[in-house]
Structure 1
Amino acid sequence: MTVTETTETIVMTGATRGIGLEAAKALLQLEPRTHLVVLARAASAARVMPDLLAVSPHVSTVDVDLASTKSTNAAAQQVEDRLDAGCLPALSRVVCNAGVHLDSALHTTVDGYERTFAVNVLATHLLLRRLHPHLRSPARIVVTVSDAHFGDLRHTGGTFPRTAWNSPDILFRPGAYRRSGTVRAGRRAYATSKLGGIFLVHEWARRLPEGIDIVAYNPSLVIGTGLASEAGGASDFLMRNVVPALTATPLVDTPGVAGLKLADAISGVTKAPSGSYVHRKRTMSSSKDSYDPAREAELWAWLENVADQDPASPPL
């Protein structure tokens, strides 16, 4: 089967490990006429391409560093060029699954932004800004978030502190939190960035045309993804030594199980209206703090200002 025999394209970040890789393999197996474009660092993509190609020949990659606005825009441009040239079939879904969870809130990108927010929020917006005009209805966008944004004992078992939302000018700069050099501040930055991801989904849902849906997807607690290892401290210890004991309960999923649930959200098997919060396989409410139109509009305006500073970025 050639590219011309495929019928639709999925663009996906975060498909080189954990639940993203499992979801990508599931989608390729269940939808053999789909072409998957993996946006990832070249080395990471090269490691997983044999596994993906063993499932389907319809996989290609685009090199990207999501911590760089220039690289993110260039990767999106490559996808646009392939779509416009007819090298890819119509774009039907965009999956923003990549994310980072770091050991402090002091990591700085080449653009001077705090790395957690740059990857988890800004890169998502930049990709959607360029790719959403190419989506053909019916289409779906999935943004992976986390129940860490609740910041309470019930949802995080005490492993994450409460979020600390502030103006985007502050949150996107290193050192936004008290004792920003600590592991706890890194966890707070992660949880707060996931709150920002939900804000972003709500604002995009207001602006996307009918027939193009966007949902926030929460996989909840998943072992073996490697995400906590970047954060260090108690999170890594708990994920390696305590949480695995809970896999026999409904509280924890393995990457394989969670990947199938993510694939269901991407494919539309899990029904969810645009702007909704999908917890594993059902729609539910996110935190009370995550419904704030004023914060959503402020975040949107800040992100648009950043995007407009790139002369190669088209107007929204």
Structure 2
Amino acid sequence: MTGASRGIGRVAARRILTEQPRSHLVLLSRTAPHELLEEFAAIDGTVSTIHTELSSLQSVADATDEVVARARSGDLPPIHTLVCNAGVQHTNALTETIDGFESTFAVNVLANHVLVRRLQDHLHAHASLVITVSDTHFGDLRHNLGMVPGPRWQPVGTLARVGAFPKPAGTTAGRIAYSTSKLAAIYLVHEYARRLPATWRIAGYNPGFVPGTALARDADACSRFAMRRVMPLLTVTPLAASVGDAGRFLADAALGALEAPRGGYIDRSRIAPSSTASYDPQRERETWEAVEALTADFLPKTAKGDIDAHHRHHGGE
């Protein structure tokens, strides 16, 4: 699981350990505070941490190598579930990773893809894959509350590089990069459902608007204050979810308590359609192909040919 050190991921991790007390939870994290590990250790379960910097695709690849090696040695049990929950949102569209990618797209899309593709041959035959997405991809007032502009789709090769949006040094561009990355993530969820083993459970999970998380930690002081002190009042309305509820729903999605159609969209505690724009087979295929090309240096050498052959064999369905 990524993104388990704070916010909804921390709540979800705690619930997973509580609901499945003999489980072994592996945290792929840049930091794992001692108090976090103590908190999890107090629950009946086993927790391991593997250092992972999601803004570096080499770090992601190294982390998957460690997971696989430990699973083969018996240090880890068979891998039943992969939860890609980590995400970033910047105050600009100019933040670049060590690999030369725009950071929002790199963390929210490319890192997840490398995780999935490098681990796909090592997960249980009836594995679960849950990727945290966002209803900001709808791009309307009802879902964005006027705070996050909707996505502006462009070729993936453009979205993956800095400066893809107008006035890229500004906060608006950073927020557009976020909503657009989440639309790309949904396109990939649909492609995963087509291309990955048919016995897997695969879903995108939308926590909704969740005030009080660290997602806005890079915002200006006024916005951070509003997110911490004002917006949490909305959790008593249908417009927002508390950290506790969103984390609980994420755990339910991971554990299969919220059963979605393959490639489906879990909207908090219910199954729902994602936006009309998110169902576009041509964009989905193009996103897959572009992301495959962008991450090719970090994918298993035989994986691309194997999965493309499988896709052709099944007629692209």
- 1:168 shift after superposition: 1.1
For 2:76, the aligned partner's letter is L
Look up the equivalent residue of 2:164 and give its one-letter code. A
Quick one: percent identity of the two aligned structures?
A: 47
Q: Distance in 1 between matches of 2:299 and 2:17?
A: 36
Deviation at residue 241 of structure 1 after TM alignment: 3.8
Matching residue within 45, 49, 53 for 1:65 = 53
Contact 1:307 1:313 in 2 (8 A): no
Task: Please give the alpha-carbon distance, in whole angstroms, between the structure 1 residues aligned to 2:40 and 2:22.
Answer: 14
Deviation, 1:250, is 3.0
- Pick from 73, 91, 116: which aligns with 1:128? 116
Partner of 2:15: 26
C-alpha displacement at 1:93, in angstroms? 0.4
C-alpha separation between the residues in 2 aligned to 1:232 and 1:193? 22
Alignment partner, residue 194 of structure 1 = 182
How far apart are the structure 1 equivalents of 2:196 and 2:125?
11
Q: Does 1:247 align with 2:235?
A: yes
- Give the letter aligned to residue 169 of structure 2: G
Aligned pair partner of 1:35 in 24, 27, 38: 24
Q: Is the 8 A contact 1:45 1:61 kept in 2?
A: no
Q: How far, CA to CA, are the matches of 2:35 and 2:173 in structure 1?
A: 32
User: What is the deviation of 1:304?
Assistant: 1.3
CA distance in 2: counterparts of 1:311 and 1:287, whole angstroms: 30
| Corresponding residue of 1:9 | none
Structure 2 CA distance for partners of 1:95 and 1:179, relative to 1, 3 Å: same
Gaps of 5+ in 1: 1-11
Query: Is the Cα contact below 8 Å between 2:22 and 2:44 reproduced in 1?
Result: no
1:30-78, CA deviations, whole angstroms, 9 ceiling, x for partnerless residues? 101210000001x335452111111134000000110011101000111
CA positional deviation for 1:125: 0.2
Q: 1:159 aligns with which of 117, 130, 147?
A: 147
1:80/1:131 contact within 8 Å kept: yes
**Which residues in structure 2 correspond to 1:44-193 (within 5 Å)?**
44-193=32-181
* Deviation at residue 306 of structure 1 after TM alignment: 2.6
Q: Is the 8 A contact 2:203 2:266 kept in 1?
A: yes
Aligned-partner SS, 1:256: helix
Query: Does residue 263 of structure 2 align to residue 275 of structure 1?
Result: yes
Partner SS state of residue 198, structure 1 = helix
Note closer, same or farther for the CA distance 1:49–1:210 as it changes in structure 2 (3 Å cut): same
Distance 2:246 2:134 in 1: 13
Inter-CA distance 312–135: structure 2 relative to 1 (3 Å threshold): closer
Question: Could you say which residue in structure 2 is the equivalent of 1:266?
Answer: 254
Q: How far is the alpha carbon of 1:294 from its aligned partner?
A: 1.1
Superposition CA RMSD, Å:
1.6
If the length of structure 1 is used for normalisation, what is the TM-score? 0.92
Letter in 1 for 2:278: S
Q: 1:207 to 1:311 in 2, by over 3 A?
A: closer
Deviation at 1:87, TM superposition (A): 1.4
Match of 1:3 in 2: none
Q: Specify the alignment match of 2:315 in structure 1.
A: none
Of 207-216 and 178-187, deviating more is 207-216
Q: Which amino acid aligns with 1:48?
A: L
Q: Per-residue deviation at 1:307?
A: 2.9
Write out per-residue CA displacement over residues 224-263 of structure 1, whole angstroms, 9 at most, x where no aligned residue: 1111122337753542343122222233222112111111
Distance in 2, matches of 1:101 and 1:47, equals 26
